[in-house]
Amino acid sequence: MLFYDFRIECKYAGEETLEKACAESRREGWSAVACVNDALWEENEDARYVFISGGSPRVWQMAAAFSEKENVSEQGMQELLKTALKEKGGVKSFSVSGLHEITVKDFLKAVRKADDANYLDDCRRALCNIEIDYFENNQFKLREELQEADALTKKAAMARAKALLADQSLLDELARIYSDKNVRHFHGHPVHYKIIAGNQETAMTIARLLTEALYSCERLLSRRLAVVSEIREGCYDERDLENLFRQAAGTALVIELRGSNEEHANYASAYERVTEFISDLIKKYHQNDLCIFIERTDNPGFTPSLMAKVEEYIDIVAISEGAGNRKEAAGYLRRLVKEADFEVMDKKEIENSLEEKTSFTASELYGIFNRFYKDGLKNKLYQAYKTATYVTAEKKKTKGDAYERLQEMVGLTEVKKIIDQIIAAHKMQKMRSDVGLAQQKSALHMIFSGNPGSAKTTVARLLAEILKKEGVLESGAFVECGRNDLVGRFVGWTAPQVARKFREARGGVLFIDEAYSLVDDRDGCYGDEAINTIVQEMENQRDSVIVIFAGYKDKMKGFLAKNEGLRSRIAFHVDFPDYDADELIQILSLMAKERGYELDDPILARCRDVFRAACAEKEFGNGRFVRNLLEQALLKQSRRIVEESGGKPMTRDELLKLEPSDFEVNLSDRYAKKSIGIGFV
């Protein structure tokens, strides 16, 4: 839907005003303006909403909303208003001027202004039916922009792109937009876009250039951009996002996919319902809504999972942010300084800010500019704040990178060696490439076999992070799935589900837990279809997805025996042995330390006896057993401290003190030494 405002200049017979001119047709208690607005609604109720929002008897301010299929012009508006103004309003003649597009938010302001003046009456309900009051939604943030109305030529677009340090992908797309092979008329969107950038400012400069070019070539009907960001997990429970999509016909929707600032261990799973919901909206509205997805390189959010779903029914052109040399970077900073309202950086500061680097992305340059802008406010404009003392938040201690966290894990010697081998092989390939030798890249699909709690999933997730950092993987995505995610309930469902999971994991790791469950016969041949599709996708995407099959050691052997094609594609078989008692003690100490507790020797001696007894049992739980034991001990400690304190304050040391008796819990009792009795019971 497209939104406008404009003016009408009215002429009446003699000295009449609107109040006098429409006195005969006025309803009791209604103002003359309300009568005219009601007449406008009755005449044009087919997807047209036109009303007087304010002004004076002779010059009225108007607002309008039209379907994207309408051809709106001042002449067309003149014809549209004729009946209501002349017959119902008693206007002798009138003229329309100043017609221009406005944002949804401005249209809403006009509605509220007219309602406050009692100009709407019966048509108030009709305006509410548009369902555009979605700006106060707390499940996502929305802002609007209006692009320039003047047509952007190809030459000007290319010049702007180069000034933005454009990547070749942007230049190529601009060439396609302006190509003579395209019709100059809106029939829908042949492609949509994914912009990959380090920050929103850089992504938005690209989005603005794209949409201005598309509007100039009549590929968009509207100059309006709706920018959606900070999407929360609960957005699928409300209608506002769908209302936004429905009313965006003919316009561009820019959607940032990093999600909200909520903490998520894995966006792919945390946002599963969100991606399904947004995917359905795109499927429903993509012909009329241009979708521009923003993928932040520092936080891709739920980009991989959404892209995997929507690629089935829309074509997406990927556009990356550009980079430039020192000379180009200096020019970019000078342009940003010129656009600012004060001299953020002088020539010397620009040169010094570039330091010794030779190449800069647009996002990096935005970061440099923003730092100088913040400092310039204090040092150049508001100098009284030069010496002020500012609040500094205590920085959280990071846990180190993924490789360091893996090395700190107890045991797992074989796993650590294999990862070192993969990293070394990748570096070797780079050295071969540097001297012109042929690449010899191998598939890296793996089997992780071991009992529950032996850290298979944790290691797989760290592996994705490590290989992303080392450049082996492009995105570092980690997608965990099982039988229910891969095997469809009906004929024809399985292959698309498998292909979708591979798309989600593109550039990362696809972790298939309890993989042997795929070959059971509960669903007839569906499991076989899943395996065959997996084998095909492993071959097709051998350079972009690492598949890790995980499960019990004995069952994994049977799983591989059922498919020779699958077995031949597995490069690494990694065994995760059960931990022994000493390793479990190390794990317990690390877990306790992370929570701020230190375990003394009596506690460790007691827990070692429990662990030795547990290790003698089959499938005792490994690391999960240790975590559960510690959590039960902390619960018991809490009860003990509350009873001992009697409501009095406790010191920090007392709150962090664990005693051997705290570990006398259900789990430890199960593995306590059993006394041998003599006689009969």
CATH of the domain at 616: 1.10.8.60
pLDDT, position 23: 60
In order, the DSSP letters of 315-326 are -EEEEE--EEEH
Question: What CATH number has the domain bearing residue 283?
Answer: 3.40.50
DSSP reduced 3-state for 50 = strand
Give, to the nearest 10 degrees, the angle between helix 581-594 and helix 622-645: 50
In a domain, 440, yes or no: yes
Q: What's the chain's average pLDDT?
A: 84
Strands 59-66, 48-55: parallel, antiparallel or unpaired by DSSP?
A: antiparallel
Could you tell me if 548 and 505 are in contact, meaning their C-beta atoms sit under 8 angstroms apart? Answer: no
Q: At 185, phi and psi to the nearest 5?
A: -165, 145
Give yes or no: residues 148 and 270 share one domain: yes
pLDDT, position 58: 82
What amino acid occupies position 233? E
Give yes or no: residues 329 and 282 share one domain: no
What amino acid occupies position 573? H
Give yes or no: residues 496 and 571 share one domain: yes
Contacts of residue 406, Cβ cutoff 8 Å, sequence gap at least 6: 412, 415, 416, 419, 459, 462, 463, 466
| Torsion over CA: 587, 590, 596, 601 (sign) | positive
Contacts of residue 560, Cβ cutoff 8 Å, sequence gap at least 6: 447, 566, 567, 570
Cα 90 to chain centroid, rounded: 55
Give yes or no: residues 36 and 115 share one domain: yes
Give yes or no: residues 162 and 264 share one domain: yes
pLDDT, position 512: 92
Among candidate residues 69, 37, 103, the one with its CA nearest the CA of residue 188: 69
Give yes or no: residues 265 and 186 share one domain: yes
Could you tell me if 84 and 51 are in contact, meaning their C-beta atoms sit under 8 angstroms apart? Answer: no
DSSP reduced 3-state for 575 = strand
Task: Give dist(CA 286, CA 316) in Å, integer.
Answer: 11
Give yes or no: residues 585 and 569 share one domain: no
Task: Give dist(CA 35, CA 54) in Å, integer.
Answer: 14
DSSP reduced 3-state for 573 = strand
pTM of the model: 0.71
Q: At 591, phi and psi to the nearest 5?
A: -60, -40
Count CB-CB contacts under 10 A for residue 353: 17
In a domain, 117, yes or no: yes
Give yes or no: residues 329 and 182 share one domain: no
pLDDT, position 191: 96
Among candidate residues 563, 573, 554, the one with its CA nearest the CA of residue 530: 563
Task: Give dist(CA 645, CA 185) in Å, integer.
Answer: 78
Give yes or no: residues 498 and 619 share one domain: no
Give yes or no: residues 438 and 554 share one domain: yes
Could you tell me if 320 and 196 are in contact, meaning their C-beta atoms sit under 8 angstroms apart? Answer: yes
Could you tell me if 511 and 479 are in contact, meaning their C-beta atoms sit under 8 angstroms apart? Answer: yes
Q: Which of 294, 321, 348 is the last residue of a domain?
A: 321
State the residue range of the domain holding 345: 324-384
Question: What CATH number has the domain bearing residue 69?
Answer: 3.30.70
- Total domains, the chain: 5
DSSP reduced 3-state for 545 = strand
Burial call 10-21: b when 16+ CB within 10 Å, e when fewer: bebeeebebeeb
Structure tokens at 675: 């006394």
Structure tokens at 501: 């999971």
In a domain, 135, yes or no: no
Positions of the chain with pLDDT lower than 50, given as ranges: 397-398, 674-681
Give yes or no: residues 559 and 665 share one domain: no
At 83-135, the pLDDT tens digits run 778 776 678 888 999 999 999 999 999 988 988 888 887 666 667 777 888 88
In a domain, 210, yes or no: yes
Cα dihedral angle (535, 487, 464, 358), rounded to 10 degrees? 80
In a domain, 392, yes or no: no
Among candidate residues 499, 450, 494, 449, the one with its CA nearest the CA of residue 479: 499
Task: Give dist(CA 302, CA 350) in Å, integer.
Answer: 36
Q: Which of 532, 560, 576 is the last residue of a domain?
A: 576
Q: Which H helix or E strand runs over 87? A: none
Question: What CATH number has the domain bearing residue 451?
Answer: 3.40.50.300
Contacts of residue 633, Cβ cutoff 8 Å, sequence gap at least 6: 658, 662, 663, 665
Could you tell me if 105 and 144 are in contact, meaning their C-beta atoms sit under 8 angstroms apart? Answer: yes
In a domain, 398, yes or no: no
Q: Which of 519, 545, 576 is the last residue of a domain?
A: 576
In a domain, 390, yes or no: no
Integer-rounded Cα radius of gyration of the chain: 33
Could you tell me if 519 and 531 are in contact, meaning their C-beta atoms sit under 8 angstroms apart? Answer: yes
Strands 59-66, 2-11: parallel, antiparallel or unpaired by DSSP?
A: antiparallel
Report the length, in residues, of the chain: 681
In a domain, 680, yes or no: no
Task: Give dist(CA 657, CA 165) in Å, integer.
Answer: 58
- Residue identified by tokens 């369902």 is 131
Structure tokens at 640: 């003990």
Give yes or no: residues 158 and 279 share one domain: yes
Q: Bridge-partner residues for 546, per DSSP? A: 509
